[in-house]
Amino acid sequence: MHLRQTRPANAVERNACSTRDYLPPPAGSTDEFAMTWDAIVRSFPPDFFRACDAAMLGQRVACELELRAVQKIVDDLPERYIPNGAGTLVPHPAIKDLETLRARLRVLCIQTRTSPGSRMDPNSAPKEPPQMRDSQSPLADLV
């Protein structure tokens, strides 16, 4: 009688993705930069980023770190609006910097294909919203 071999209970099964390497952070980067880099890069499949993406991805990570620093400054502001010489209130310069950084990060996310919209498969996205027939309308019971 032929006995079927079984794997030990503690055997770990490795898939093909776990054997590939992710794009490493640039040499000489800070710990915070490397952690942010890894968080972004590892949220995609290992073959998503190539070596040619490293420069643009580095700009995206640097922009995100700068955005976090400015956001902390804005959060710690006692007043978000300051008086100018004409007696009117204007936004604090850090708030303007924050808006500029957010716009820049949005563009960098699109360019590095890391925005939520770039993750959507265009073939699975609905082209038009489904049309509702009168019998399916929630108001059909009231008429």
Q: Digits of tens for pLDDT over the chain (143 positions)?
A: 555 555 555 544 444 444 468 999 999 999 999 999 999 999 888 888 999 999 999 999 999 999 999 999 999 988 888 888 888 888 889 999 999 999 999 999 999 988 877 766 666 555 555 565 555 555 555 54
- Indicate whether 102 belongs to any domain: yes
Q: Residue 1 domain-assigned?
A: no
Rounded to two decimals, the pTM is 0.67
29, 85 Cβ separation under 8 angstroms: no
Report helix, strand or coil for 92.
coil
The helix/strand/coil state of 30 is coil
Number of domains in the chain: 1
User: Considering all CA atoms of the chain, what is the largest pairwise distance in Å, rounded to the nearest integer?
Assistant: 97
- 93 within a domain of the structure (yes/no): yes
Within a domain: 71: yes
Residue 87 lies in domain: 25-115
